[in-house]
C-alpha cells in the first residue's frame, strides 16, 4: 500500500512537471506570436485612422459628356532604414517594375545632395494616379510577405515595421476634351499646404461655382490594423463616408457647342479676325445652348500665348457696339409714344451739322426716311433725331431697363458693367445723338444678348444661363437660381414692332445674307471703330450682328455674333463678317434639328426664286436684244456716215480739180488747136 502510494505520487509529480512545461511552451509560443504581430505593425499605435479626402465635383454637358472631372494623386514613401540591406536590390527591382521608374532614378532618391544615404523617409514617386497607387499598394503587401522590411525601433522604444506607404498627396483636374467650351469653362490653380494639394477655380465656371463644386465632406476609417497595415472592419472600427463636391450640369450640349466652335474657327481664318464670339440662347428661358470663342486653350496645359485668352470676353470685354444700339433707341422712343414705325424724318441727304465741331453723317444718302427705314438703312442722322425727342432721363432709364450698364447675370466668374452716360449728360444733344447710334457708351456681349432677347420674347429680357442644375453624390438634383433675374425692358407692343423692323433689316437691309427660307430671321448689324479712350479711335473695328431665328414649331433663339478686329480687306463690314457667321450658325441649328424650316414656305421661296430667276433671264435676253438692235443701228449710222464722208470727199476732189484747171487756164491761155498734146 505504501509502495503504491509513493509510486502514484511520483507519477503525479511527473505529470505536473509535464503539464507545467507544456503550459510554459504554449506561453512562450503565444508570446512569440504576439511579439511577431506587435513587431509587424505598420504604425506604433494599436488603432489608427485612415483618411479618405473628398474631391471636387465634375462639370457635365447637357448631352452627358464630362468636360471637367477630378482625380486623386498619390505619392510613394518608404522609411529607408527599414529596408533589409540584403534585399535592397530586390526592392529596387520590383518597385521599378511596378512604377515604371528606372532603377537608377529610384536609387538616386535614397541619396541626399551630398551623395550620402538618407536616414529618414524617402519619397520615391509623386503625382501617382489611382491605377498606379493600387498596383503599388499590392506591391507593398507582397514586400512585407517577402520580409523585405525589417523591424526598427521608434521613438517610444517599440520595434515596428515601416513598410512602403502609398499616401494621398492631392487632387488634380482633368479636362478630357481639352479646349472645348473654353474660356467659359475656365481653369484651376493648385494650392499646396505642404501635405496636400487642393484645386481651386481661377476663372469661368470653375471659379463662379467654386462653393458648389467644393461642397464636400471628407471620409475616414478608424480601427485596429492587421500585420499588413490594413484597418480591420470589425465591431470596434468606425467610419464616415466621404461626400464629394456637387456636379454641375450645363444647358450646353457638346454636339452643338463643338459645331459652333468649328464655324468660328473657319470665319476667324476667313476674316482675319483677332477673335470671334458667338452665343445661342433660348429666347424665353435664357438657357445658353452654345457659348463659343475662336480663341480657346487647353486648361491642363496653359501656354504663354494663351494668357490673353484666359478671361472670358463674353462678360469681361466692354466695347462700343455701334449701330446695334439703334433698335434699342427706337424702342425707347416707341415706348414713350414719341414716334411710330411710320413716322417720317428729314435726314438731310445723309449729313447734319449740329455744332461747329460735330457733324452727323450716313453711309447712304436719303432725303427722308421713316422710323422703320432709319433702322433698315442704319441712318445715324435719323436715329439722332429720334433720340432728341426723348429727355435725357427717359433715354438713360430706357437703356437701364434693357440691362445696359449693369451686370447681365451670366454665370461666369467676373462681369464688367460697361457704362452708359448719366441722365444729366444725356440732356445735351451731342451726347444723346452719339449714344443713340452706339458710341460714347460701352456694353458687353452678354448684356447685348440679354437686351436683344426682349425683341424675341414680348419685351422681357432673360438672363443668360449656362448652368441648368446640380447633383450631389447620390444623384439628387438641385436647381440653381441666377443672381440677377429676368426683367421687362419694353412693352409687348413695342417689342413686337421692333421684331418686325428687325425682320425688315434681314429682308432688305444690311442683314440680307442672314436670310433662311422657311425660318423667321431678324437682326441688326453694327460696325464700329475701336476706341482708344482719350487718344481717339483706331482704324480697327468691331463688327457684330445680334438677332433671332425662329421656326413655326415654337423654337425661338436669340443669337449674337461679335467679330473683334477683322483684318482682311473689306471684312470689317458686319454684312461681310458677322452676318455670314450668324447664317452659318443657323445652318448648324437646322442641321441638328433645333430649328425646323417650314417646307411649304421653302417651296414657296424656291418658286419665287425661280420666277425671279426667270424674270432676270428674260430681262437679260431683252437687254441682249436691245444691245444687238442698238449695235445694228449704230453700224447703219456708221455706214451712212462713211458714205456721206466719201461723197463729200469726192465732191471736194472734183471741186479742187475744177479750180486747179481754171487757174492754169488763166495763167497760160492757149488754144486746143495750137497745142492738142496738152489735153
Q: What is the pLDDT of residue 163?
A: 81
More confident residue, 185 or 159: 185
- Kind plus residue range of the DSSP H or E element containing 539: strand 537-550
Residue 556 pLDDT more than 90?
Answer: yes
The answer to whether the beta carbons of residues 217 and 243 sit under 8 Å apart is yes
- Which stretch of 298-302, 462-466, 512-516, 656-660 has the lowest confidence by average pLDDT? 656-660
Confidence of residue 379 (pLDDT cuts 50, 70, 90): very high
Q: What tens digit of pLDDT does each residue of 81-114 get?
A: 888 888 889 989 999 999 889 989 999 988 888 8
The model's confidence at residue 227, banded by pLDDT at 50, 70 and 90, is very low
Q: Read off the pLDDT of each residue in 277-283 and give the average, rounded to a whole number.
A: 98
Report the alpha-carbon distance of residue 377 to residue 369 in Å, rounded. 9
CA–CA gap between residue 347 and residue 366 (Å, rounded): 6
Q: Cite the beta strand spans of 378-519 per DSSP E.
A: 460-461, 467-471, 477-479, 487-488
pLDDT for res 635: 87
State yes or no: pLDDT of 669 exceeds 60: no
The predicted pLDDT at position 671 comes to 39
- The whole-number average pLDDT for the span 598-608 is 73
DSSP of 74-140: EEEEEEGGGB-GGGHHHHHHHHHHHHT--HHHHHHHTB-TTSPBP-SEEEEEEEE-HHHHHHHHHHH
Phi/psi region, residue 671 (left: phi>0; alpha: psi -120 to 50; beta: rest), is beta
Q: Summarize pLDDT for 317-333 with one digit per residue, the tens.
A: 999 999 999 999 999 99
Mean pLDDT of 7-29: 68
* pLDDT number for residue 221: 61
Omega of the bond leading into 183 within 30 degrees of 0 (cis): yes
Residue 585 has pLDDT above 70, yes or no: yes
The residue ranking higher by pLDDT, 20 or 266, is 266
Question: What does the pLDDT average to over 6-26?
Answer: 68
Res 677 pLDDT > 50: no
Residue 363 has phi, psi (to 5 degrees) of: -80, -35
**pLDDT higher than threshold 50 for residue 46:** no
More confident residue, 642 or 277: 277
Cα 78 to chain centroid distance, Å, stands at: 45
Q: Is 578 exposed, middle or buried (0-12, 13-18, 19+ CB in 10 A)?
A: buried
Q: How far apart are CA 79 and CA 264, in angstroms?
A: 56
Q: Are strands 247-250 and 238-240 parallel, antiparallel or unpaired?
A: unpaired
Determine the average pLDDT of the residues in 133-137.
87
- Tell me the CA end-to-end span of the chain in Å, nearest whole number: 209
Collapsing DSSP states into helix, strand and coil, what is residue 196?
coil
- Quick one: cell of 223? 480601427
| pLDDT, position 679 | 27
Please compute the mean of the pLDDT values over residues 63-87 and round it to a whole number: 90
Angle, to 10 degrees, between the axis of helix 326-335 and the axis of helix 492-508? 140
pLDDT of residue 673: 38
Q: What is the pLDDT of residues 423-447, one digit of tens each?
A: 999 999 999 999 999 999 999 999 9
CA dist., res. 306 & res. 438, Å (int): 31
As a whole number, mean pLDDT of residues 514-536 equals 88
Give the residue, 605 or 375, on which the prediction is more confident.
375
Average pLDDT over residues 200-205: 93
Max Cα distance, the chain (Å): 220
Query: How confident is the model at residue 552, as a pLDDT?
Result: 92
pLDDT level of residue 570 (50, 70, 90 thresholds): confident
Report yes or no on whether pTM surpasses 0.85. no
Per-residue pLDDT band for 601 (boundaries 50, 70, 90) equals low
Q: What pLDDT digit, counting tens, does each position of 230-241 carry?
A: 555 556 656 667
**For 500-510, how does the pLDDT look when each residue is reduced to its tens digit (9 = 90+)?**
999 999 999 99
Distance from C-alpha of 673 to C-alpha of 663, rounded to nearest angstrom: 20
Mean pLDDT over all residues of the chain? 85
For residue 525, give the 3-state DSSP assignment.
strand
At 243, the pLDDT band (50, 70, 90 cuts) reads confident
**Beta bridge partner(s), residue 191:** 198
Q: Is the dihedral angle over the CA atoms 530, 535, 536, 539 positive or is it negative?
A: negative
Amino acid at each position: 500500500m505504501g509502495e503504491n502510494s509513493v509510486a502514484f505520487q511520483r507519477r503525479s509529480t511527473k505529470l505536473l512537471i509535464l503539464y507545467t512545461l507544456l503550459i510554459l511552451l504554449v506561453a512562450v509560443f503565444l508570446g512569440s506570436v504576439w511579439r511577431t504581430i506587435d513587431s509587424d505593425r505598420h504604425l506604433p499605435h494599436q488603432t489608427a485612422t485612415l483618411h479618405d479626402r473628398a474631391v471636387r465635383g465634375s462639370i457635365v454637358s447637357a448631352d452627358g459628356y464630362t468636360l471637367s472631372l477630378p482625380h486623386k494623386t498619390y505619392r510613394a514613401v518608404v522609411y529607408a532604414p527599414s529596408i533589409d540591406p540584403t534585399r535592397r536590390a530586390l526592392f529596387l527591382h520590383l518597385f521599378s517594375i511596378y512604377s515604371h521608374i528606372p532603377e537608377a532614378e529610384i536609387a538616386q532618391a535614397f541619396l541626399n545632395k551630398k551623395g550620402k544615404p538618407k536616414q529618414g523617409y524617402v519619397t520615391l514617386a509623386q503625382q501617382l494616379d489611382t491605377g498606379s497607387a493600387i498596383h503599388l499598394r499590392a506591391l507593398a503587401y507582397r514586400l512585407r510577405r517577402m520580409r523585405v522590411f525589417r523591424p526598427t525601433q521608434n521613438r517610444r522604444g517599440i520595434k515596428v515595421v515601416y513598410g512602403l506607404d502609398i499616401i494621398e498627396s492631392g487632387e488634380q483636374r482633368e479636362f478630357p476634351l481639352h479646349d472645348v467650351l473654353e474660356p467659359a469653362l475656365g481653369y484651376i490653380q493648385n494650392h499646396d499646404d505642404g501635405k496636400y494639394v487642393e484645386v481651386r477655380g481661377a476663372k469661368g465656371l470653375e471659379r463662379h461655382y467654386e462653393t458648389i463644386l467644393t461642397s464636400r465632406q471628407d471620409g475616414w476609417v478608424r480601427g485596429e490594423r492587421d500585420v499588413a497595415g490594413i484597418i480591420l472592419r470589425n465591431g470596434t472600427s468606425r467610419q464616415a463616408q466621404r461626400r464629394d463636391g456637387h456636379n454641375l450640369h450645363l444647358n450646353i450640349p457638346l454636339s452643338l457647342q463643338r459645331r459652333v466652335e468649328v464655324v468660328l474657327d473657319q470665319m476667324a481664318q476667313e476674316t482675319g479676325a483677332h477673335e470671334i464670339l458667338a452665343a445661342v440662347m433660348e429666347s424665353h428661358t435664357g438657357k445658353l445652348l452654345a457659348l463659343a470663342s475662336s480663341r480657346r486653350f487647353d486648361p491642363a496645359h496653359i501656354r504663354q500665348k494663351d494668357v490673353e485668352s484666359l478671361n472670358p470676353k463674353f462678360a469681361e470685354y466692354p466695347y462700343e457696339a455701334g449701330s446695334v444700339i439703334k433698335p434699342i433707341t427706337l424702342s425707347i422712343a416707341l415706348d414713350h409714344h414719341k414716334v411710330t414705325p411710320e413716322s417720317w424724318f428729314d435726314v438731310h441727304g445723309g449729313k447734319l451739322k449740329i455744332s461747329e465741331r460735330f457733324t452727323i453723317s450716313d453711309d447712304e444718302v436719303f432725303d427722308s426716311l421713316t422710323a422703320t427705314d432709319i433702322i433698315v438703312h442704319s441712318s445715324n442722322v435719323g436715329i439722332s433725331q429720334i433720340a432728341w425727342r426723348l429727355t435725357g432721363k427717359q433715354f438713360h432709364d430706357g437703356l437701364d431697363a434693357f440691362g445696359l450698364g449693369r451686370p447681365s447675370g451670366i454665370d461666369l466668374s467676373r462681369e464688367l458693367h460697361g457704362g452708359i452716360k448719366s441722365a444729366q449728360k444725356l440732356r445735351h444733344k451731342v451726347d444723346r445723338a452719339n449714344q443713340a447710334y452706339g458710341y460714347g457708351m460701352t456694353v458687353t456681349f452678354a448684356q447685348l444678348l440679354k437686351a436683344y432677347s426682349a425683341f424675341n420674347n414680348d419685351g422681357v429680357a432673360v438672363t443668360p444661363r449656362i448652368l441648368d442644375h446640380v447633383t450631389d453624390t447620390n444623384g439628387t438634383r438641385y436647381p440653381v437660381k441666377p443672381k440677377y433675374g429676368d426683367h421687362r425692358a419694353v412693352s409687348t407692343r413695342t417689342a413686337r414692332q421692333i421684331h418686325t423692323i428687325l425682320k425688315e433689316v434681314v429682308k432688305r437691309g444690311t442683314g440680307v445674307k442672314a436670310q433662311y427660307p422657311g425660318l423667321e430671321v431678324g437682326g441688326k448689324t453694327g460696325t464700329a471703330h475701336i476706341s482708344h479712350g482719350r487718344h481717339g479711335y483706331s482704324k480697327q473695328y468691331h463688327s457684330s450682328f445680334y438677332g433671332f431665328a425662329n421656326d413655326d414649331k415654337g423654337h425661338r433663339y436669340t443669337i449674337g455674333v461679335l467679330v473683334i478686329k477683322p483684318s482682311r480687306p473689306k471684312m470689317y463690314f458686319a454684312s461681310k463678317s458677322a452676318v455670314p457667321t450668324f447664317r452659318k450658325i443657323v445652318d448648324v441649328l437646322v442641321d441638328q434639328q433645333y430649328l425646323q424650316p417650314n417646307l411649304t414656305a421653302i417651296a414657296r421661296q424656291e418658286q419665287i426664286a425661280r420666277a425671279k430667276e426667270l424674270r432676270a433671264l428674260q430681262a437679260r435676253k431683252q437687254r441682249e436684244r436691245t444691245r444687238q438692235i442698238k449695235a445694228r443701228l449704230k453700224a447703219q449710222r456708221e455706214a451712212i456716215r462713211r458714205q456721206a464722208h466719201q461723197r463729200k470727199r469726192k465732191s471736194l476732189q472734183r471741186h479742187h480739180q475744177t479750180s486747179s484747171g481754171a487757174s492754169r487756164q488763166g495763167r497760160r491761155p492757149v488754144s486746143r488747136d495750137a497745142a492738142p498734146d496738152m489735153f
